[in-house]
Amino acid sequence: MSDAPAARPAAPSAQTAPPLATTAKPVVGVLALQGDFEAHARVLARLGARLREVRTARELDALDGLVIPGGESTSMTIGIERERLAEPLRELVLRGLPVFGSCAGLIVLDREHLGVMDVLAKRNAFGRQVDSFESDVDLSGMPGGPVHAVFIRAPWVEEAGPGVEVLGRVEGGPADGKIVAVRQGCVLATSFHPELTGDHRVHALFVDLVRTERAGRTGAGTEEVR
């Protein structure tokens, strides 16, 4: 589990996304080898997803999306190799499975690890645990104002290829301008931990992507989740 600071109180209702439309609840896996996967699971359930903890390649079957949580990237990478998950994960991304990585999840997705995002993440870029901090970050195309972001031994994106959309940067301080949110196709990643606040907009963006991609595969319509 994460040794994160206490979560902020829930954001105002204008910043908390309502349940989204779908034909049936999408099945979203959360990689549960290490890290605070349970916090992601709670948010995803709030947004109408069916959750599956993923620890083996078999548990990747029939997913509509996957979250790679924060934690310790070296331990997570060792677990991925131990369970022989690297190649199945790469194949799923190549087939268009939406994936969201936060903090260590961003590192796992980069060129030097799974290689499914054309980015290079710098580990512990903002400093050690004692240097953890919170900041408001403007995300491109995100309604409702800045997202309150929690950074814990966080990476930043040192390099981003031409096919990568930069969604957010830190503003002010010694790290001014550093990239902390990116998207490449169906892969979304943040340096920060959106699961630790009451603002569900980043997860809602991901779940909406999951539903859109699934609808494109199946040709399904939409109906309201109750």
Catalytic machinery residues: 103, 193, 195
The token duo for 178 is 């550093």
Do the beta carbons of residue 23 and residue 225 sit within 8 Å?
no
Taken as a whole, the chain contains a residue count of 226
Q: Is the CB of residue 31 less than 8 Å from the CB of residue 220?
A: no
Taking Cα atoms as reference points, which of 41, 76, 39, 71 lies closest to residue 55?
A: 76
Terminal Cα-to-Cα distance of the chain (whole angstroms): 31
CB 9 within 8 A of CB 198: yes
Q: Which amino acid is at 170?
A: V
